[in-house]
Amino acid sequence: MTDTYTRLVSKGPGRDVAKKLGLPQPAALRRYEPRQPLPAGPVLVIGASAGADDLAGELLDWDVEVRRHAVAKERVGAIVLVLDDLQSPADLEQPVLTAGPALRELAPNGRVVTISRAPDGGRPAAAAARQGVDGLLRSVAKELWAGATGNGIVLTEGVSATAPSVLGALRFFLSGRSAFVDGQFLRVGSPSGSLPAVPDAPLTGKVAVVTGAARGIGASIARTLHRDGATVVAVDIPAAGDHLAEVANGIRGTALQLDVTREDAGQRIIDHAVSRHGRLDIMVHNAGITRDKLLVNMDHGRWSSVIGVNLEAQLRINEALLASGHFRSAPRIVSVASTSGIAGNRGQTNYAASKAGVIGMVRATAPLLAEYGGSINAVAPGFIETEMTARMPFAPREIARRLNSLQQGGRPEDVAEAIAFLASDAAGGISGQVLRVCGQNLVGA
């Protein structure tokens, strides 16, 4: 759907009027294109640890211009703040205050990325400093401008600053793939994972299943996974058969007409993928419905249908996958949750409960996949421009669009890019996590 307001204030008289009145001025976001440079300019790596030195060396291997000290009046495409050796709150001051002035030279659509350690156990002073990075990064993200974003990578014990999934997450955050991801953290829980030989085709040789693939976000996920090299099985209900066939044919995949709430849905998905494509590597749970009502007016039909499609179907399908010998080679599961499941939303007790339930399912399932080198994560979209949001009344729609740090709605491809990253082996050390794709929503969470 077209964001008319953003178009009007992006240039000419509309831009001048918006500036004078102090109205939001959303920037055109730099989204992913093949063979696109990671950041739009040099990367400034700030930090005195061995991890900072090693990371700078890795960036040089990516043919990225690296600066270890700011150069006066030089525009930078990104600032990477390496804080992996914090032992007390006093350790924050020098690197953070070094980064502050450098922000003035951050290019439009630039990136700020922190790399820090989890505040798990240990000394209270170290835990305080490491947790402080959370508030620091989220605040910086709200101070950026012109489409720039700030995100963080959190290392757990035994994970180095150059572990494969740390580098994978850094590449994702620096690139146009993360255009609508802002103020978020990814926790790398193990040193596993591997970087692709061809960065623009990280899913080559993989077979992926996407539910709810006939239109909207699901169709975008299917197309993005195909673009990244995967063979895709597109799944949706029989009533959406024509749209489903169009999506599947467009990406040279196969279509499976299936109600995901069927008891045998998981086995039918496995049988189709293996019989048609010989394997199953990636499962993307996107199918979902809304049946909004205030709780005072909620009935059995609205409640049970939303819980059934959005949550119970995923649980049953995952049970079948975990029991199958065909889902054993570094399998990946990515579920679509929602910011409603994190912050709640008026009139959506059923939907919010189902999406919060997805987050709980993801966290509990992660250890079950670990023995196979697998992972499961969730992506939680905020306001995304879809057919559903296009039907919202004008005023609530405009308010929802502006209530994030980027002051605009996201696109279906923004959700798809995050899912494609989490489905890749570059994210193999990331599991049980929830990545919000919401432009840093300013309300609730």
pLDDT tens per residue, range 8-28: 777 777 777 777 777 778 889
Residue reference for tokens 């990075």: 133
Average pLDDT for 268-275: 98
pLDDT at 106 over 50: yes
Reply yes or no on whether the pLDDT at 260 is more than 50.
yes
Please state, in angstroms and rounded to a whole number, the distance separating the CA atoms of residues 299 and 344: 19
Query: Which residues are annotated as catalytic?
Result: 351
How do the domains of the chain map onto residue ranges?
31-188, 207-437
- 31-188 against 207-437: fold identical: yes
User: Is pLDDT above 90 for 65?
Assistant: yes
Its pTM surpasses 0.75 = yes
Does residue 445 register a pLDDT over 70?
no
Which of 194, 180, 167, 105 shows the shortest CA–CA distance to 141?
Answer: 180
CA dihedral angle for residue 131, residue 137, residue 138, residue 144, rounded to 10 degrees: 170
What per-residue string of b and e applies to 214-251 under the rule 16 or more CB within 10 Å gives b? Answer: bbbbbbbbbbbbbbbbbbbbbbbbeebeebbbebbeeb
Give the number of C-alpha atoms closer than 13 A to the C-alpha of residue 362, restricted to the C-beta side. Answer: 29
Dist. CA 347–CA 212, nearest whole Å: 23
pLDDT exceeds cutoff 80 at 368: yes
The CATH superfamily of 207-437 is NAD(P)-binding Rossmann-like Domain (3.40.50.720)
Range with the poorest average pLDDT among 28-42, 177-191, 391-405, 407-421: 391-405
CATH fold of 31-188 reads: Rossmann fold (3.40.50)
pLDDT in tens, 213-244: 999 999 999 999 999 999 999 999 999 999 99
